[in-house]
Structure 1
């Protein structure tokens, strides 16, 4: 039997937290993607796809709440693989944009990057309450931490684009975000393996 329903008194709180961060990430995915396309920003598009991956991961984690360790481990593994696939997709998008030579709009990058930073700081505060929980919740802490770093990178890249007039900082942050997401996915897979009894 896979369900440990009722065994974990914090399950309802975990579920509520995961729903909240799922909604925040879904909304920010739409906002960042729309403005990233409008601003021709690899950094914003990369970060929006990271938000989409996180929303998917939080949905997967919701299915693991109050479940056996085996089910939580499977959810974490699926989450890690999703992050890795998204990282590869973002790298290809950055490459495509570098070939096209698109010019990003720095003001939009900084403004939306700051909004995303606030959203991810809220997510981080919410999920850190569960950092000692199951592997599926520890994975959520990794995502939110990575996201705040990525948002700071987008803001800095926006400043550098404005200062230099070059799209290179935007392409670099898009690449850096995808590598950060890739590393997060690999870390989650390692944690899932380490959680085996």
Structure 2
């Protein structure tokens, strides 16, 4: 017997948030490109490139979220929720490629400082606009990113933009107060350095989902102890827990039940207690249990 996970976390609300963030990102990207041309700032251009990547990532996230909302069928019995993970994978790869490009451009400018001119005033104004816009987008995505790996990918993109805007603001102030234009290239390197850890973390989570590892913070031994504490349960084996995507854990187990409990018709009550335990204590809404009488146990070779 099993219980199906709710589909609300993959619903239209997330897509609306992603669409709003995409609109904000696209507007700021255009402002930064214009500001980079007017000021000659590499950091603004790098941040604009990051914004362009974010816009592409948000489009991917929107597509993945829409696909993930499609209902399950006889061929894809879990539905299309893994589409979110694939979208997050693409986001991570894009982030890595972007960081390499920014670093190369910044190093080249540091090695050829002559002839570099940066208008610190324009650079500062555009960076402040980016900071405010990214703050709004970050606030919009903050709640949904806790339950969707796909939205989390977009959230990390926007967080990187916000930190990048802070770096550009500091560089602009340095240029305005000291005239040291290389601060612009240094800020670009900082933006690249901030991108890499976020990308690696996102790719690590994608790998964890695709390899069907136990969700972070979920301990199989603790779940096993809860099951064994249920009245009528003698043993439990073949325990497996994984997640389709962030916020969608799946659990299966073979539960050995006392013969008297089965003969007295308590199987239904035991199933209900087990499912309620998984949902209440471990936030597992999709759980499948196979009840077995004592003496009819096929042990898991990988237990």
Same structural fold, with TM-score higher than 0.5 when normalized by the shorter chain: yes
**TM-superposed deviation, 1:100:** 5.5
Q: Detail structure 1 runs of 4+ shifted over 4 Å in the superposition.
A: none
Report the counterpart of residue 7 of structure 2 in structure 1: 7
Computing the radius of gyration from Cα coordinates, the structure with the larger value is: 2
Q: Which has the higher contact order (CA 8 A, sep 6+)?
A: 1
**In the aligned structure 2, how far is the partner of 1:17 from the partner of 1:70?**
20
Q: CA deviation at 1:143?
A: 1.5
- Residue 94 (1) aligns with residue 106 (2): yes
CA-to-aligned-CA distance 1:50-94 (integer Å, 9 cap, x gap): 111111111111112151332111110001101111111222222
Aligned length: 192
Larger helix percent: 1
Could you tell me which residue of structure 2 aligns to residue 180 of structure 1? 194
Q: Give yes or no for contact 1:64–1:72 (8 Å, CA) kept in 2.
A: yes
Deviation of 1:147 (Å): 1.5
Map of 2:128 onto structure 1: 114
The TM-score normalised by the length of structure 1 is 0.90
Partner SS state of residue 87, structure 2: helix
Please give the residue correspondences for 1:26-45 in structure 2 after superposition, counting only pairs within 5 Å.
26-45=26-45
Following the alignment from structure 2 to structure 1, what is the Cα–Cα distance between the partners of residues 10 and 160?
A: 25
Structure 1 unaligned segments of length 5 or more: list them.
1-5
Q: Which residue of 2 aligns with 1:170?
A: 184
Structure 2 regions of 5+ residues with no counterpart? 1-5, 69-79, 213-303
Q: TM-score, normalised by structure 2?
A: 0.60
Deviation at 1:145, TM superposition (A): 1.7
Q: Distance in 2 between matches of 1:122 and 1:18?
A: 12
Cα separation, 1, equivalents of 2:9 and 2:179: 54
- Structure 2 CA distance for aligned equivalents of residues 137 and 10 of structure 1: 10
